Amino acid sequence: MAKVETARVQYPFATKAGVLLAAVLGLWGVAEYFGFESSYQQKYHDPYLIVAQSVRFQSFSDAVAPNAILGYLTDAEPGSAADDTLFRTAQYTLAPRLLQKKPSGSQQVLGNFTRPADFAAIGHQYGLNLERDFGNGVVLYRAQAR
């Protein structure tokens, strides 16, 4: 049997230096990114107050079945960033319950308000009865019997 020799490849110094430089720059970039991200998270740890929504919706969540499909009512300007943020944070916090971005068509409706108001009167405008006010702008409505 013939002996098989494997050839050893020698790369030029410039190639080795280039690969080493790319690796060092990559590691440096990772370190810079984590340093920036760490300071950013400390300064702006929860800009949309997602954690606060968990506390805000806790009583509501306990009062509504996990498989509920809820209508949704808010005082935020429709289509605004505040409207989208309020809806999405409520949807995220109340999962697995489903929210429909309209007050009609559901037996139960979540009222998610940004300021105090006459919540019963607002509900009556949409054919809803105020079932329970959980405080902090969170209200449960029930559709009026027809």
The model's pLDDT over 100-118, given as tens digits with 9 standing for 90+, comes to 988 877 899 999 999 999 9
Domain ranges across the chain: 10-45, 50-143
Residues 6+ apart with CB under 8 A from 137: 56, 111, 112, 113, 114, 115, 116
Contact between residue 70 and residue 39 where contact means Cβ atoms under 8 Å apart = no
The 8-class DSSP code of residue 109 comes to E
Mean pLDDT along residues 48-71: 89
When pLDDT is cut at 50, 70 and 90, the band that residue 48 belongs to is low
Reference 92, options 141, 52, 139; nearest CA is 52
When pLDDT is cut at 50, 70 and 90, the band that residue 53 belongs to is confident
**How many other C-beta atoms lie within 10 A of the C-beta of residue 117?**
13
What burial letters (b/e) apply to 91-103, b meaning 16+ CB within 10 Å? bebbeebebeeeb
Mean pLDDT along residues 117-132: 93
pLDDT for residue 1 is more than 70: no
- Taking CA atoms, 15 is separated from 19, 20, 76, in Å, by 6, 9, 60
Residues 6+ apart with CB under 8 A from 25: none
CA distance 64 to 30: 45
Respond yes or no on whether the N-terminal peptide bond of residue 96 is cis (omega within 30° of 0).
Answer: yes
- Give the model confidence (pLDDT) of 10-38 as tens digits: 999 999 999 999 999 999 999 999 998 88
Mean pLDDT along residues 81-110: 90
CA distance 3 to 33: 51
